[in-house]
Amino acid sequence: MKQVSLKIVNITKIFKDFKNNEIRAVDNISFEIIPGEFVTLLGPSGCGKTTTLRMIAGFEKPTEGKIFINDINVVEIPPWKRDIAMVFQSYGLFPHMSVGENIAYGLKMRKIQKEESQKKVKEILRIVGLEGFEDRPPSSLSGGQQQRIALARALVIEPSVLLFDEPLSNLDALLREQMRIEIKRIQKEVGITAIYVTHDRTEALTLSDKIVLMKDGKIEQIGNPEDVYEKPVNKFVGEFMGKIFFFPIQVLDILEKETLVRLKDRVYKIPSLPTDKADNYVLGCRTEALKISSDGPIEGKIKTIVYLGESSEYYIDTEYGEIMIRVLSPFDKNLSEGKSVKIDLVPEIAKIIPD
Partner 1 sequence: MEQRNWKIIKFLVVALIAFLVLFWVRKTIRNEFSRLFRENSLNLAYSVSAIEPELLTERFPEILYYISYFDGIELQNRPILDVVKSLPDYEYGIENVLYEEFYISQKTVKIDEKQYFVIFSPITKDYEVMGIMIQLHAAENVLKLFRTVDIIFLIVFLIFIAVFSISTFSIDPVTAYATIITFAIVLTFILYPLYEAVRMTFMRTGTFTTKVWKTVLTERAYLKSFSNSILLGTLTATLSTVIGFLFAFMVTRTNFKGKKFVSFMVNLPLISPPFSLTLSLILLFGSNGLITKQILNLNWDIYGLDGLIIAQTMGMFPIAYLTMVGVLESIDSTLEEAAMNLGASRWKVFRTVTLPLSAPGLLSSWLLVFTNSIADFANPLMLGGKFNVLSVTAYLEVSGMNRLDRGAALSLLLLLPTMTAFYLQRYITSKKSYVTVSGKPSGRIVEIVSPSLKKTLSIIVYLIVAFLIGLYSTIFMGCFVKNWGIDYTFTLSNIVEALQRGRKALVDTTFLAAVAMPIAGIFSMIIAFLIVRKKFPGKKLLQGLVLLPFSIPGTLLGISYVIAFNKPPIMLVGTAAIIIINFIIRELPVGVEGGVAALKQIDPSIEEAAQNLGAPPQTVFSTIVLPLIRPAFISSMSYTFVRAMTAVSAVVFLISPRWYHVSMQIYNFSENLKFGLASVLSALLIIIVLSVFGILRVVVKRSEYLQKTII
Question: Which member of 69, 86, 186, 316 binds partner 1 (CB under 8 A)?
Answer: 86
Single out the residue of 79, 138, 54, 144 nearest to residue 103, CA to CA.
138
The distance of closest approach from Cβ of residue 60 to partner 1 in the complex, given in angstroms and rounded to an integer, is 10
Residue 76 lies near partner 1 (rule: CB under 8 A):
yes
Please, what is the Cα angle at 127 between 122 and 131, to 5 degrees? 45
Cβ closest to partner 1, residue 164 vs residue 229: 164
Q: Give the one residue of 1, 9, 34, 77 binding partner 1; rule: CB under 8 A.
A: 77
The torsion defined by the Cα of 274, 275, 279 and 281, in degrees rounded to 10, comes to -60
CB 290 within 8 A of CB 346: yes
Of the pair 97, 349, the CB lying nearest partner 1 is at 97
Among 30, 94, 116, 250, binds partner 1 (CB under 8 A): 94
Residue 88 contacts partner 1 per CB under 8 A: yes
Say how far apart CA 168 and CA 90 lie, in whole Å. Answer: 9
Question: What is the full DSSP assignment across 28-75?
Answer: EEEEEE-TT-EEEEE-STTSSHHHHHHHHHTSS--SEEEEEETTEE-T
For position 90 contacting partner 1 by CB under 8 A, the verdict is: yes
Contacts (CB under 8 A) with partner 1, residues 281-320: none
> Which residues in the 191-220 window bind partner 1 by CB under 8 A?
none
Q: Are 225 and 205 in contact (CB under 8 A)?
A: yes
User: Among residue numbers 107 through 146, which ones bind partner 1 (CB under 8 A)?
Assistant: 109-110, 137-139
C-alpha span between 208 and 200 (Å, rounded)? 12
Give yes or no for residue 157 binding partner 1 (CB under 8 A). Answer: yes
The answer to whether residue 274 forms part of the interface with partner 1 (CB under 8 A) is no
Residue 91 or 314: which CB sits closer to partner 1?
91
79 binds partner 1, rule: CB under 8 A: yes
Helix (H) or strand (E) holding 212: strand 210-215
Among 29, 41, 47, 57, binds partner 1 (CB under 8 A): 57
Under 8 Å between Cβ of 133 and 141: yes
In the complex with partner 1, the residue whose CB is nearer, 93 or 341, is 93
How far apart (Å, rounded) are the C-alpha atoms in residues 288 and 299?
18
Distance CA 323, CA 318 (A): 7
Q: How far is the CB of 61 from partner 1 (least distance, A)?
A: 8
Q: Is the peptide bond before 167 cis (omega within 30 degrees of 0)?
A: no
150/261 with CB nearer partner 1: 150
Between 109 and 306, whose beta carbon lies closer to partner 1? Answer: 109
* 287 burial type by CB count under 10 A (0-12 exposed, 13-18 middle, 19+ buried): middle
* Residue whose CB is less far from partner 1, 96 or 333: 96
Give 228-232's long-range contacts (Cβ < 8 A, gap of 24+).
229/205, 229/286, 230/286, 230/349, 230/351, 231/272, 231/275, 231/351, 232/284, 232/351, 232/353
Options 6, 29, 69, 93; binder of partner 1; rule CB under 8 A: 93
In the chain, the amino acid numbered 211 is I
Among 36, 65, 100, 106, binds partner 1 (CB under 8 A): 106
Q: How far is the CB of 203 from partner 1 (least distance, A)?
A: 20
Task: Give the x/- contact pattern for partner 1 in 15-54, rule: CB under 8 A.
Answer: ----------------------------------------
Size of the site for partner 1 (CB under 8 A): 34
CB atoms within 10 A of CB 290: 24
Which positions touch partner 1 (CB under 8 A)? 57-59, 61, 76-81, 83-86, 88-96, 105-106, 109-110, 137-139, 150, 153-154, 157
